[in-house]
Amino acid sequence: MKKSEIKFGVVVVITFAVIGAAVSLIFGRFIDFGSSKTIETSAQKTKPIGGTVSFSPPLLQDAPAEIKDAVMLGYNIMMNTQKYAAGYVGNKLNCTNCHFNGGITEGGRNGGLSLVGVAATYPRYRKGQNYSEDIVTRTNDCFERSMNGKPLPSYSKEMTAIVTYYQWISNGLPIYANIPWLGIEYIKSTHTPNPANGKQIFAQNCAVCHGNNGQGTQVVPPLWGNDSFNDGAGMDKLKDIAAFTLNNMPMTNPKLTDEDALDVAAFIINQPRPHFAAKKK
Ligand code: HEC
Ligand code: HEC
């Protein structure tokens, strides 16, 4: 064999090895190597990919130099929306009042509503519009409803910063992974909510911080009235506020039963609050 023929042979072998490895990497996840048959049920097809993921968001200060300013502005907007997105907020809330620590938490008990991994899970199907929604539109839902404010232009410095921040804190999580700490786990109790009992629960467990009239203080956010979220907000839905309360309130010491959480939630959402003009309900 000539030297050039040997070279050609080696190149061919390597090429096939690389293609083979790529094919098995891509299709390997669908193939059960343990059995002789290839199994792919419809359940597996619809299951989000990614397998088990673990919670380990990077530190903000470790963001690459070119995006660090945007990441930090995004974080500041989450923590002090009043200051850093003034003009787009119509109440006294900050994102972090619900997305604790700017969303850098593992959710669940005392974690508020996590945002770690959101960048990997959008665009996502949204029931309200029967189509998929991107992260900018989803964020503006919170601006218009939770914050009773105005949508940030998608090209604005602020929205770009928020999206960069999501992207950074989602670093390392596979696209469309099933991220267990995102979202709210609703209460399963079939108890019929009793707002009259909820009023008592509120007086005993919440008023000390949120005020007798739910108006809040300098350091505690309001629960109803002009300075609160509007009636189009997720937090104004019984199942959302009940589950949030069960997991997180009283702050740092959540201790209500499922039934009491449902009752106090029913009481709070019956109180007056701003009206969301474009409400679809
Ligand atoms: C020890 C003080 C304290 C008590 C008691 C307390 N909260 Fe809170 N609550 C807070 C603070 C502080 C926040 C904002 C957390 C943050 O920004 O990190 C908050 C946030 C909230 C929020 C989301 C933000 C908003 O204002 O809409 C809801 C809803 C809420 N609390 C409901 C309740 C309910 C219901 C109770 C009684 C079962 C309760 N809280 C008891 C301190 C308290
Ligand atoms: C009064 C409470 C509250 C405030 C304040 C709030 N949000 Fe939310 N946010 C929610 C609720 C409730 C959801 C829905 C959670 C769910 O259904 O999984 C949500 C969902 C989101 C989501 C989608 C998360 C997911 O897992 O799909 C994003 C992104 C988001 N909020 C961003 C923000 C930003 C940015 C701000 C501040 C401008 C903000 N939110 C202020 C209550 C709030």
Range 231-235 average pLDDT: 98
**pLDDT score, position 4:** 60
What distance, in Å, lies between the first and last C-alpha atoms of the chain? Answer: 78
Q: How far is the CA of 233 from the centre of ligand 2 (A)?
A: 9
The answer to whether residues 231 and 279 touch, using CB atoms and an 8 Å cutoff, is yes
Residue 279 has pLDDT above 80, yes or no: no
**pLDDT score, position 278:** 78
| Lowest pLDDT segment from 48-52, 61-65, 248-252, 267-271 | 48-52
Confidence of residue 28 (pLDDT cuts 50, 70, 90): very low
Q: How far is the CA of 15 from the centre of ligand 1 (A)?
A: 60
Residue 72 has pLDDT above 60, yes or no: yes
Residue 268 has pLDDT above 70, yes or no: yes
Maximum CA pair distance of the chain?
93
| Two tokens, residue 196 | 């009259």
d(CA 75, CA 69): 10
**pLDDT score, position 17:** 58
- Ligand 2 contact via 246 beta carbon (within 6 Å): no
- Ligand 1 contact via 98 beta carbon (within 6 Å): yes
Q: Which ligand is nearest to the CA of 234?
A: 2
**pLDDT score, position 16:** 59
- Ligand 2 contact via 97 beta carbon (within 6 Å): yes
Residue 20 has pLDDT above 60, yes or no: no
In this structure, the residue with its CA closest to atom 6 of ligand 2 is: 95
The answer to whether residues 151 and 158 touch, using CB atoms and an 8 Å cutoff, is no
Q: How far is the CA of 214 from the centre of ligand 1 (A)?
A: 10
Range 151-163 average pLDDT: 98
Q: Which ligand is nearest to the CA of 230?
A: 2
Q: Which residue has the tokens 């006294």?
A: 92
Counting ligand 2 atoms within 8 A of each CB, the residue from 98, 134, 138, 142 with the most, and so the one to mutate, is 142
d(CA 3, CA 17): 21
Going from the C-alpha of 277 to that of each of 50, 144, 182, 230, the distances in angstroms are 39, 10, 28, 9
| Lowest pLDDT segment from 19-28, 162-171, 183-192, 224-233 | 19-28
Mean pLDDT of all residues belonging to the chain: 88
Task: Using the atom order of ligand 2, give the atom closest to the CA of residue 240.
Answer: 12
- Ligand 2 contact via 150 beta carbon (within 6 Å): no
Give the bridge partners for 126, in sequence order: 131
Q: Which of 191, 213, 192 is nearest to 202 (CA)?
A: 213
Q: How far is the CA of 143 from the centre of ligand 2 (A)?
A: 9
Residue 161 has pLDDT above 70, yes or no: yes
CB burial of residue 79 (10 Å; 0-12, 13-18, 19+):
middle
Range 125-135 average pLDDT: 91
All domains in the chain, ordered by first residue: 60-169 (1.10.760.10), 195-269 (1.10.760.10)
Range 104-130 average pLDDT: 95
Task: Using the atom order of ligand 1, give the atom closest to the CA of residue 100.
Answer: 18
**pLDDT score, position 9:** 58
d(CA 90, CA 43): 44
Counting ligand 1 atoms within 8 A of each CB, the residue from 105, 200, 206 with the most, and so the one to mutate, is 206
**pLDDT score, position 18:** 52
- Non-local CB neighbours of 111 within 8 Å, separated by 6+ positions: 100, 105, 181, 247, 248
- Ligand 2 contact via 234 beta carbon (within 6 Å): yes
- Non-local CB neighbours of 262 within 8 Å, separated by 6+ positions: 187, 189, 191, 193, 238, 242
Range 63-79 average pLDDT: 98
Q: How far is the CA of 245 from the centre of ligand 1 (A)?
A: 8
d(CA 165, CA 69): 10
Q: How many residues does the chain have?
A: 281
- Ligand 1 contact via 249 beta carbon (within 6 Å): yes
Which percentage of the chain shows pLDDT scores above 90? 78
**pLDDT score, position 144:** 98
Encode pLDDT of 175-198 as tens digits. 999 999 999 999 999 999 999 999
